[in-house]
Structure 1
Amino acid sequence: MNIAYLVNRYPTVSHTFVRREILGIEAAGHRVHRFSIRAAPDDLPDPADRAEREKTAVILTKAVPLLLGAAGLVLRRPGGAWAAWRASKAMTPPTARGFVARVAYLAEACSLSSAMHRADVRHLHAHFGTNPAAVARMAHLISGIPYSFTVHGPDEFDEPRQLDLAGKIADAKFTVAISDYGRSQLCRWVDTAHWPRIVVVRCGVDLAAIDAAQADAEPGFDFCCIARLAPQKGLPILLDALTLLGERGVRPRVALVGDGPLRDELERGIAARGLGGQVALLGSKGGAAVAAQLRASRAMVLPSFAEGLPVVIMESLAVGTPVVTTAVAGIPELVDDGCGWVVPAGSVEALADAMAEALSADADRRAAMGAEGRRRVAHDHDAGRNAALLLKYMEAA
């Protein structure tokens, strides 16, 4: 079966789970055509992502050919194009900016439809219920090719009506949530008749690849935090917790791996709190370097305000490193006191207390927590097994 995958920007360092899923489907003997609305970044640190970039077709390139191609398809398929245009109105705001977005979505959907027909694609799957699901839905209405999409959160849960999640779910053959919590949030916005077509397929990791990864860690750090430097990750709370620990005479060192829009603000916050000797912003790293940093840490800390279910938690537990994190979204489905410390989101004191406990935990306790975490990941978050489950839904569709 020829399958198409659509992501807003692919590959990127934060979308390794998509790569694992695609490779799992291809390992089962199917062909996957990768489509990205926008071009991938040039500075991909992971060789596997650089290889994926070479296999991925970018939809949003030159505007004039894109619009001319869309106009031709609209003339050939006016009924489908009109249905897609009507659907786009519910997925964008009734403003001038929303009108521009609708035109862009239609052009992208036409380009994707043409490419899928040339490749004899039988099913289209999109990751994220935002722009990719909008374009996938419109491409389905134009081409007749069935589609599905995976919702991760938290963005989709913040604006379900503006994104017309209900309409996307109604038109899809099935919709994927990555946790039971995520499924419950999707069920909130649709008629109960659609609930059976909302399924849970968890994100996964490749344990063998993680075990085989070889890289050197930056030495001398007690904790690592692997996160996009974005507001939803709650990283200023981590700085406040380190300040509070310092007032108690405890000064752990934290390696912060990742990049994003809050980098400058975090640098200022580190300087203002006098944490320059404790927190290092290491930037984005490839998968092997991330695994090495996790192994070298007493615990991985992630003080998120909002999430889906972070893959980095799975990666940390896969290498046997317990986690300090927050009780939001799907995280408690994987993490409890058996493999980490779960604290209320936004609580500086609770985060500091948990980090202090992680520092004081002896090697036997941390090893036991890490072993339990790895067992859970192997049971519920194996990339190959979960890709096979998703494939079953695609084949049924």
Structure 2
Amino acid sequence: MRILILANVPPGAVGGAEVQALHLARRWAASGHQVTVAGHANQPLVEENLSIRRIPTIRLGRPLRAASYLVSTLGLLWTHRNDVDVIYCRFLKEQAIAASLGKLLFGLKHPLIACPACASIGGEAELIKASRFRKLLTSLFAREINTINTMSSAIRSEMLDLGFTPEKLSNIPNGVVIPPLPDRTCPASSTLKIIFVGRLTHQKGLDTLIKAAHLVRKRNCAFQLNLVGDGPLRQELRSLIEKLDLVNHVFLDGPVSPMEVSDKLLGADLFILPSRFEGMPGALLEAIAHGLPAIATEVSGSEEIVDASIGWTVPVDDSSALADALQNAIGLGSIKLRAMGGKSRKKALAQFSADIVAERYEKLFIQLLQRKSIDS
């Protein structure tokens, strides 16, 4: 197949959705498909079966950038109308708008798949609902997009609420590269090692986590919490840690390389993700792939990943419930948590392996191409 992905990917853009797009592109290319990834922030790259290209835009304010992106993407679709079999959009935003308009204006029959990346605040459904062009957008998407992939039940509910039919929706989760794991034979410690990996932003709910850590310390529980990553709230979080007298228990590790992230996950007993909203968090998938049990908030994606066999879920912004979950985990100890972590890794292998996810998309593409052949 010849697959066109409309998405930004690392290193030009770094985020969960962008990383997922690159994972898929590399796996499809490795399977022998011809893959082109086009995005306005991309750094051009050519590999075997994979081409990453930048869509030119005028970066003088959001309206002009959006208009130039639309024009450039329409030009790309027209120029390569005979060189593409399937179009895949990561996000149900400007990429999907451009691809849908291209199909409408040029009479293109290529199967078009779009994948919303987030639910709730900042998610595509909320943005569409808030738009004065809501009816126009939903009508355009319903007409031109063949399948909207909803990676979580929350996103699926939002798409149904927008008026899309169940037949238009698929349910393929995000994937994760499963790393080889060394034998974890290091002795158990009386101080539980807890880790968070991600951006230090309001979305991630780290202020609630630090307040929960304060409650746990007041209960005389021994733990070490490492916050791995960087972001705009770094200084604010540092001040909160100092205010709550947690400087010997909560540590801001700063940004690290992917290899260092893997090493830190391997050295931890428990992963925690107190997000206020998500789509399907890659950091959580990476944690269970490394064999860690997890505590997560009840948000899109996390609820699909974490069940009682591999961790705990708690309400959003509830420091007391988060503290209770932390205390329960600390009470189990490292040995029992490692047993839960073994179940985490098995779940990652069975349901969220990047190879399995890529294959599921390939089967969807083939079904859509067969349907196109019958219809024509």
**Range class of TM-score, shorter chain:** 0.7 to 0.9
62 and 156 in structure 1: CA distance in 2 versus 1, 3 angstrom threshold? closer
Q: For each residue in 1:66-113, what CA deviation from the matched residue of structure 2 results, as whole angstroms up to 9, or x when unmatched?
A: xxxxxxxxxxxxxxxxxxxxxxxxxxxxxxx88546523422323432
Q: CA 1:113 to 1:374, structure 2 compared with 1: closer, same or farther past 3 Å?
A: same
Q: List per-residue Cα deviations over 1:5-53 (Å, max 9, x = no partner).
A: 111454425333222212221222211101122246xxxxxxxx9989x
Q: Residue 67 of structure 1 corresponds to which residue in structure 2?
A: none
The match for 2:96 is 133
For 1:104-143, list aligned pairs within 5 A.
Answer: 104-114=68-78, 116-117=80-81, 120-143=83-106
Following the alignment from structure 1 to structure 2, what is the Cα–Cα distance between the partners of residues 311 and 102? 28
| Equivalent of residue 310 in structure 1, options 271, 281, 304 | 281
Q: Taking structure 1 as reference, are residues 254 and 321 closer, same or farther at Cα in structure 2, changes over 3 Å only?
A: same
Partner secondary structure for residue 222 of structure 1: strand
Corresponding residue for residue 57 of structure 1: 53
Aligned to 1:147: 112
Q: In 2, are the aligned partners of 1:210 and 1:288 still within 8 Å (CA)?
A: no
Partner of 1:340: 311
1:247 CA displacement: 2.5
1:6–1:37 Cα contact (<8 Å) kept: no
Hey, what's the Cα distance between the residues in 2 that align with 1:131 and 1:221?
Answer: 44
Q: How does 1:148-163 map to 2 (within 5 A)?
A: 148-154=113-119, 155-162=123-130
Task: Give, in whole Å, the separation in 2 of the partners of 1:110 and 1:342.
Answer: 44
- Check whether the contact 2:9–2:22 (CA below 8 A) recurs between aligned residues: no
* SS in structure 2 at match of 1:345: coil
- Counterpart mapping for 1:162-177 below 5 A: 162=130, 164=134, 166=138, 167-177=140-150
Q: Name 2:333's counterpart in structure 1.
A: 362
Q: What is aligned with 1:371? A: 342
**Structure 2: distance between partners of 1:168 and 1:291:** 39
Q: How far 1:320 sits from its partner (Å)?
A: 1.3
The Cα of 1:305 is off from its aligned counterpart by 1.3
- 1:294 to partner: Cα distance: 1.4
Distance in 2 (CA, whole Å) between partners of 1:391 and 1:202 is 14
The 3 A distance-change label for structure 1 pair 275 and 140 is: farther
Distance 2:224 2:198 in 1: 16
The answer (yes or no) to whether the contact 2:77–2:99 under 8 Å persists in 1 is: no
SS at 1:126's partner residue? strand
Secondary structure of 1:57 counterpart: strand
- Output the TM-score relative to the length of structure 2: 0.82
| 1:364 match: secondary structure | helix
Q: Secondary structure at the match of 2:37?
A: strand
Note the C-alpha offset of 1:358. Answer: 1.6
What is the alpha-carbon distance in structure 2 between the residues aligned to residue 139 and residue 281 of structure 1?
46
The answer to which of 372-381 and 141-150 deviates more is 141-150
Matched, 1:4 2:4: yes
Contact 2:216–2:323 (8 Å) recurs in 1 = yes
Cα distance change of structure 1 residues 106 and 55 upon mapping to structure 2, 3 Å threshold: closer
The amino acid that maps onto 1:59 is I
| Greater percentage in helix | 1
1: distance between equivalents of 2:304 and 2:176?
16
- 1:192-245 residue CA offsets vs partner (Å, 9 max, x unmatched): xx32121011111122x4548xxxxxx998111012222221111011112222
Q: Confirm whether residue 259 of structure 1 aligns to residue 248 of structure 2.
A: no
Deviates more, 1:305-314 or 1:102-111: 102-111
TM (norm. structure 1) is 0.78
What is the percentage of aligned positions where both structures have the same residue?
26
* Matched letter for residue 37 of structure 2: R
State the match for 1:199 in structure 2.
Answer: 170
Q: Give yes or no for contact 1:328–1:345 (8 Å, CA) kept in 2.
A: yes
Superposed CA offset, 1:304-340 (max 9, x none): 1111221222221122110011122232222122101
Name stretches of at least 5 consecutive residues in structure 2 with no aligned partner: 183-188, 369-376
Q: Is the 8 A contact 2:56 2:69 kept in 1?
A: no
Q: What are the superposed Cα offsets for residues 239-280 of structure 1, whole Å, 9 maximum, x if unpaired?
A: 111222232333532221223333343233333333333333
CA distance in 1, matches of 2:162, 2:19: 29
SS in 2 for 1:159: helix
Q: Over the residues paired in the alignment, what is the CA RMSD in angstroms? A: 3.1
Question: Where does residue 190 of structure 1 map in the other structure?
Answer: 163
Q: Secondary structure at the match of 1:34?
A: strand
Matched residues in 2 for 1:316 and 1:278: separation?
21
Distance apart, 1:378 and its partner CA: 1.5
**Maintained 8 Å contact 1:298/1:358:** no
Deviates more, 1:320-329 or 1:128-137: 128-137
Q: Which residue of 2 aligns with 1:103?
A: 67
For 1:19, which of 22, 29, 32 is the aligned residue?
Answer: 22
